[in-house]
Amino acid sequence: MTTVAARITFSDWGWRYAERDAWAVRGVDLTVEPGERVAIVGPSGAGKSTLLRAVAGVLPDEPDPDDDTAAAVQGTVRVDGAEPSAVRGRVGLVMQDPEAHTVMSRVGDDVAFGCENAGVPRDEIWQRVRSALDVVGLDLALDRSTTMLSGGQRQRLALAGVLAMRPGALVLDEPCANLDPSGVVQVHDAVRALLDETGCSLLVVEHRIGTWLDLVDRLVLLEPAGGVVADGAPAEVLAAHGPALTAAGVWVPGSEPARGSARRGTRTPARTGEMRGVERGGPGAFRPLAESESESESESESGAEPGAGLLEARGLATARGRRQRVASGIDLDVRAGRVLAVTGPNGIGKSTLGLTLAGLLRPADGVLRATPELAEGVGDVPAAWTSRQLAARIGTVFQDPEHQFVARTVREELAVGPRALGAEDAEERVDELLDAFGLAHLADANPFTLSGGEQRRLAIGTVIASRPPVVVLDEPTSGQDRATWQAVVDRLGDLADTGTAIVAVTHDQDLVRALDADEVVLGAAGARPVLRDPATGVRR
């Protein structure tokens, strides 16, 4: 395929969004020579996405120097010496949310979309579509619907759509942030094939930069309002700026969290193998935290009987809607003070299992039973509990925090749960959580206006405020930089240490390791516990 790689230059470039006081990015001097492959890292808020969108020519709003509230620009960004918006299509952009950027409803049409816009003749379009799908390794019929694709397939579809336009540069904005490990490998290999095919320039932003290090020539560290602070061969930058990178929220390869690093409590090993029939701790001592009278953290810690069973699934089958059965034959126990990680490939029904365990979906078959310790006299079927009974016993943190916000300010949001449960110390709990989660300065902000990391912390805070004995989280760490990740995992570790049972639906092995979680892998034949060597934590 004959394409000429694009040259990208930023000269003292900066951008301020409309109606914002602060510059999203400022003073960037960076040149990407034709065919060069560059990874950009930096803390949240350093303007990495803004930079990529500028190259693709898709920044919103026209800058207007006469209007203070309008967007503002400084310096220049050029693609082959031209304004990026004048040469759209020269730069192919793939973004983080796979769902949101599939345009058409059939695979072939979606790949063809960019070619159509560029005015490519019809016969040539279909040749390009087929060869593009071939390069990214998507072996799907052209008239296959795009609705049921996995995350990895969807990102490769987006890559094929970009490739079919024969771009001079490929720009990737956290393309693997929401993918499971196999999806990450698929996308990585597809990008490598695309680069081999076209020889085009590459700009990639990703928190888990390790994914791309084998493909890039340069690593650039960006600082908020500080421009480029490090630029060079990846190995050199990593060696010289390792701590700075970690501080900036970058997942530096080799600095993964150690097993159990987010737990302070000691834990008797070798429990993972005993998923069933284990002797439970003493009866009734454990009281749901929400109904106890303003007890302090340490009291609640002593109140929870570590290891006490709270939820039991036996032969559980899950279903979305009335007919769509998802997974079956699941046996597992949720225990106080323990972290249960549900892993498995995308689309196997992890989220559905999480929602079922959380009492939000009815089991299609089998039993999900709340033990008397958890039920406290309201029946043992979580799905039949009232909303308040449920909230007092099982809290749920949704994958998209915005689904669960109901109030106008962060403060009110945190107070919703305690108030619904009639807690008298609602205000104290809210103040405590605002401080603990670093949200105090945002107390009066609307939850929808927070950044992704802040929303995630708030979502967890709202559930903790109700002090349920069980907390279920769906992908609590997906797409986060290292700093936000650490904050979330530390919270979860504290919760487990104080006797809460945690169920985390996740594909994040760092989370499993840091929380020293009991891992079950969901598959076609049910949930299989992962057995680990008690001493080393290595999978058997």
Partner 1 sequence: MTAPGTAAGLPGRSVPPGGVRGARGVQPVASLLGVLALGVCLVLSLDVVSAAVALVLEVLLLPLLRIPPRTLLLRTSPVLVAVPLTAVSIALYGRPSGRSWFDLGFAHVTDGSLELALATALRVLAVGLPAVALFVRVDPTDLADGLAQLLRLPARFVLGALAAIRMMTLLGDDWRQLGMARRARGVADTGRLRRGASMAFALLVLALRRATTLAVAMESRGFGAPGRRTWARTARFAGPEWAMVGVLVGIGLVSIAVAVGAGTWRA
What gap in Å lies between CA 31 and CA 33, rounded to an integer?
6
* Smallest separation (angstroms) from partner 1 to the CB of 418: 9
Residues pairing with 77 in the sheet: 10
Place of tokens 């159990």: 260
Q: Which of 21, 68, 139, 279 binds partner 1 (CB under 8 A)?
A: 139
468 within 8 A of 392, measured Cβ to Cβ? yes
Nearer to partner 1, 104 or 185 (CB): 104
Among 28, 162, 230, 434, binds partner 1 (CB under 8 A): 162
Using CB under 8 A as the binding rule, whether residue 161 contacts partner 1 is answered as: yes
> What's the CA gap between 173 and 195, in Å, rounded?
16
Tokens 């997906």, residue located = 478
Of 300 and 455, nearer to partner 1 (C-beta) is: 455
Q: Scanning residues 337 to 366, which ones bind partner 1 (CB under 8 A)?
A: 355, 358-361
- Nearest approach, Cβ of residue 25 and partner 1 (Å): 17
Binders of partner 1 among 362-401, rule CB under 8 A? 386-388, 390-392, 394-396, 398, 400
Q: Is the Cα torsion angle 87, 91, 97, 100 positive or negative in sign?
A: positive
- Tell me which of 54, 56, 311, 502 binds partner 1, using CB under 8 A: 56
CB 327 to partner 1: min, Å: 18
DSSP state, 401? G
Residues 6+ away with beta carbon under 8 Å from 66: none
> What's the chain's length in residues?
540
**Distances from the Cα of 209 to the Cα of 170, 184, 417, 428, angstroms:** 17, 12, 38, 41
- With CB under 8 A as the contact rule, which of the stretches 84-92, 299-307, 433-441, 510-518 interacts with partner 1? 84-92
Question: Using CA atoms, how far apart are residues 447 and 429, in angstroms rounded to an integer?
Answer: 18
Among residue numbers 455 through 484, which ones bind partner 1 (CB under 8 A)?
462-463, 466
CA distance 150 to 110: 15
**Amino acid at position 531, single letter:** L
**What is the Cα 482 distance to its own chain's centre?**
12
Could you say which residues in the range 58-77 bind partner 1, by CB under 8 A?
58, 60
For the segment 428-457, give every residue that binds partner 1 (CB under 8 A). Answer: 448
Per-residue DSSP letter, 145: B
Which range, of 8-16, 67-75, 231-239, 403-411, touches partner 1 by CB under 8 A? 403-411
Is residue 313 a contact residue for partner 1 (CB under 8 A)?
A: no
Residue from the set 175, 227, 417, 493 that interacts with partner 1 by CB under 8 A? 417
Binding map of partner 1 across residues 99-138, x = CB under 8 A, - = no contact: xxxxxxxx-xx--xxxxxxxxxxxx-xxx-xx--xx----
CB of residue 537 to partner 1, shortest distance in Å: 32
Tokens read off for 165: 């336009």
**Residue 333: strand pairing partners:** 312
147 touches partner 1 by CB under 8 A: yes
Nearer CB in complex with partner 1: 12/116: 116
CB of 367 to partner 1, least distance (A): 21
Q: Specify the residue for token string 């040149």.
A: 31
- 225's CB contacts (< 8 A; 6+ apart) are 22, 23, 25, 26, 27
| Residue in 14, 92, 461, 526 binding partner 1, rule: CB under 8 A | 92
Q: Which is nearer to partner 1, 135 or 248 (CB)?
A: 135
**Minimum distance between the CB of residue 256 and partner 1, rounded to whole angstroms?**
31
Establish if 144 lies at the interface with partner 1 (CB under 8 A): yes
Cβ within 8 Å of residue 76, ≥6 positions away: 9, 10, 11, 12, 13
Q: Tell me the site size for partner 1, rule CB under 8 A.
A: 81
Least distance in Å: CB of 121 to partner 1?
A: 6
Nearest to 429 by CA among 399, 462, 387, 471: 462
Confirm or reject binding of residue 185 to partner 1 (CB under 8 A): no
Q: Is 49 exposed, middle or buried (0-12, 13-18, 19+ CB in 10 A)?
A: middle
Distance between first and last Cα of the chain: 47
* Least Cβ distance, residue 69 to partner 1 (angstroms): 19
Q: Which stretch binds partner 1 (CB under 8 A): 69-77, 98-106, 207-215, 492-500?
A: 98-106
Q: Which of the residues 510 through 529 are near partner 1 (CB under 8 A)?
A: none
Q: Please tell me whether residue 47 binds partner 1 under the rule CB under 8 A.
A: no
